[in-house]
Structure 1
Amino acid sequence: MTTVVNYAHRGASGNYPENTMIAFEQAITLGATGIETDVQMTKDGRLVLIHDEKLRRTTGVNALVAETLADEVLQLDAGSWFSPEFKDARIPTLEQLLELAKRTHTIVNIELKNGIVEYPGLERKVIETVQSYRMSDQVIISSFNHYSLIECNRIAPEIPTGILYMEGLYRPWKYAKSVGASALHASRYAVLPEWVAEAAQHDVIYNVFTVNDPAEMKRLMQAGVAGIITDYPERLAAILRGQ
């Protein structure tokens, strides 16, 4: 088995509140070599890390991120929904995660969450933030909005991109090349060893989501995927250590 990048999905979200600094920090402690997160933009243009377009599920506030000012978003309790012990957890900014990742030499997979809410200028703002930290070689940008990835490749072709998709793409490595992406961020249901091998012949890698079963992690590693996105980075870390 080859070594894969151990991407913690929204941080170590199996045991900590997703997309919070404690989830990111603990993921690295647990053996993650990459962090997967979601970026959106507040009403006043700040880049914040949250999966849902609405604040409701993780903070209890029934409002869109896009319609809320950063000062309010960053003060919300983003941990109590998961467990009362995490009541002090907050929604972080992209800058906070990049600072952690730069310090710990961790790869960051930034998913642009602009499939439902458009967030004009999101691509450029994310790229400029990454470039300000000189982390272009430590980041991969992914999205289900493939038009957005084309825009990212136009602005900063040196930052790799990955196309997110669920199922059923025919010869996805060819499509990835047409978009300018170097990675396929595929659902675990859409990965077969022969596809991984053929993609590799076209210099396209697979980063697979969201894989929590150790047996499935081993199957995907044997298939030759480059990265596995998991809620439980400690499980993949144990496999990589040979335990």
Structure 2
Amino acid sequence: MTTLMNYAHRGASGNYPENTMIAFERGIALGATGIETDVQMTKDGKLVLIHDEKLKRTTGVNALVADVQSEELLCLDAGSWFSPAFKDERIPTLEQLLTLAKRTQTFVNIELKNGIVQYPGLEQKVIDTVRAFGMTDQVILSSFNHYSLIECKRLAPDIPTGILYMEGLYRPWKYALSIGAAALHASHYAVLPDWVAEAAQQGVIYNVFTVNEPAEMTRLIQAGVAGIITDYPDRLTAVLSKL
């Protein structure tokens, strides 16, 4: 049995401000073997790691990521909303995370956030950046926009992709194979042991989100999933050590 991947969701976002360097660093320190993050693009084309299309929730600025220049965006306070203790945390760039991941040999699940706001050329830019770091074997590209995943496979057949979805798709492994995806990134509610087994027979793995309760982690590990995405990588570390 291969070792289950412990993905820190936006870093260790249960205890640190999501998608910040401290959340990524602490996630790794708490046992994460992978980091899950979200990539978007500033007005001047810089790849930045933030979940929401709007800056409001995590920085207080009422603007879209796509409408702000990187020089301004990278100076915003992305930590105070979570706690005053994190006042100086910033929105990181993809390069900053890849630098950390390369040094620590951590896998990176990069979610392309291009469903609501369309970022022309996002796929190519992300792939070029991953290639520049020599990390094509250390990342998986995921998205709820499956057209984007097809474009990623066209541009980089060697980089695996993961299909993000929420509901109970019928035989999703067949769909995954039809678009060249290696993984199903399913909501944990949409995962049953029989499905995991049938997908595995077809060479398709399950990476499941967002799982924070130890009992659900245990169920999914026993179901045979390949990876679990969690806000609390330390909890998953503890569950794995018991099993």
TM-score computed with the length of structure 1 as normaliser: 0.99
Aligned pairs, number: 243
Look up the match of 1:216: 216
Look up the match of 2:114: 114
Look up the match of 2:43: 43
Shift of 1:3: 3.0
| AA in 2 matched with 1:35 | I
Look up the match of 1:141: 141
How far, CA to CA, are the matches of 1:198 and 1:176 in structure 2?
13
Partner of 2:219, secondary structure, is: helix
Identity %: 81
- List per-residue Cα deviations over 1:118-137 (Å, max 9, x = no partner): 10000000000000000000
Partner of 2:212, secondary structure, is: coil
| AA in 2 matched with 1:79 | G
Partner of 1:103, secondary structure, is: helix
Look up the match of 1:184: 184
Look up the match of 2:16: 16
| AA in 2 matched with 1:239 | V
Look up the match of 1:79: 79
TM-score computed with the length of structure 2 as normaliser: 0.99
How far, CA to CA, are the matches of 2:43 and 2:15 in structure 1?
30
Give 1:117-196 correspondences, 5 Å limit: 117-196=117-196
Give 1:55-94 correspondences, 5 Å limit: 55-94=55-94
Q: Any conservation in 2 of the 1:2–1:221 contact (CA below 8 Å)?
A: no
Structure 1's unaligned 5+ residue stretches are none
Partner of 1:136, secondary structure, is: coil
Shift of 1:241: 1.8
| AA in 1 matched with 2:13 | S
- List per-residue Cα deviations over 1:152-180 (Å, max 9, x = no partner): 00000100000000012100000001111
How far, CA to CA, are the matches of 2:198 and 2:125 in structure 1?
34
| AA in 2 matched with 1:48 | V
How far, CA to CA, are the matches of 1:234 and 1:168 in structure 2?
29
Q: Any conservation in 2 of the 1:10–1:23 contact (CA below 8 Å)?
A: yes
Partner of 2:176, secondary structure, is: helix
How far, CA to CA, are the matches of 2:60 and 2:102 in structure 1?
32
Look up the match of 2:234: 234
- List per-residue Cα deviations over 1:17-45 (Å, max 9, x = no partner): 00000000000000000000000000000
How far, CA to CA, are the matches of 1:240 and 1:98 in structure 2?
26
Runs of 4+, deviation exceeding 6 Å: none
How far, CA to CA, are the matches of 1:33 and 1:237 in structure 2?
10
How far, CA to CA, are the matches of 2:169 and 2:41 in structure 1?
30
Structure 1's 2 and 137: CA in aligned 2 closer, same or farther, altered over 3 A? closer
Q: Any conservation in 2 of the 1:3–1:240 contact (CA below 8 Å)?
A: no
Shift of 1:198: 0.1
How far, CA to CA, are the matches of 1:16 and 1:130 in structure 2?
26
Partner of 1:141, secondary structure, is: strand
How far, CA to CA, are the matches of 2:205 and 2:156 in structure 1?
19
